[in-house]
Amino acid sequence: MTRKLTPRQVIARSYPSWDYAMADRLIAWLDECGYEIVERGSQHTDASLVPTEPKSAPEVARTM
């Protein structure tokens, strides 16, 4: 069985001695900047924020 960590725990473990205060500040800063932490593989509520890829590369006309 795999252990599931919260975003707060994942961020805290990247600091020495699992700094939860720093993790909380980082999450608050990301929230203030408009970022959102979502689970892997989940669909975002506003899919229009994801840029669409062009179907094919645009052709460059060569003139001489």
CB atoms < 10 A from the CB of 32, how many?
8
Chain segment 3-16, per-residue pLDDT in tens: 888 889 999 999 88
CB atoms < 10 A from the CB of 23, how many?
20
Q: Which amino acid makes up residue 32?
A: E
10 falls within a domain:
yes
Q: Which residues lie below 8 Å from residue 26, measured CB to CB, with a gap of 6+?
A: 11
**Number of structural domains, the chain?**
1
49 falls within a domain:
no
28 falls within a domain:
yes
Chain segment 16-60, per-residue pLDDT in tens: 888 999 999 999 999 999 888 877 776 666 666 666 666 665 666
Range of the domain at 27: 1-39
* DSSP-derived secondary structure letter, 25: H
Q: Which amino acid makes up residue 41?
A: G
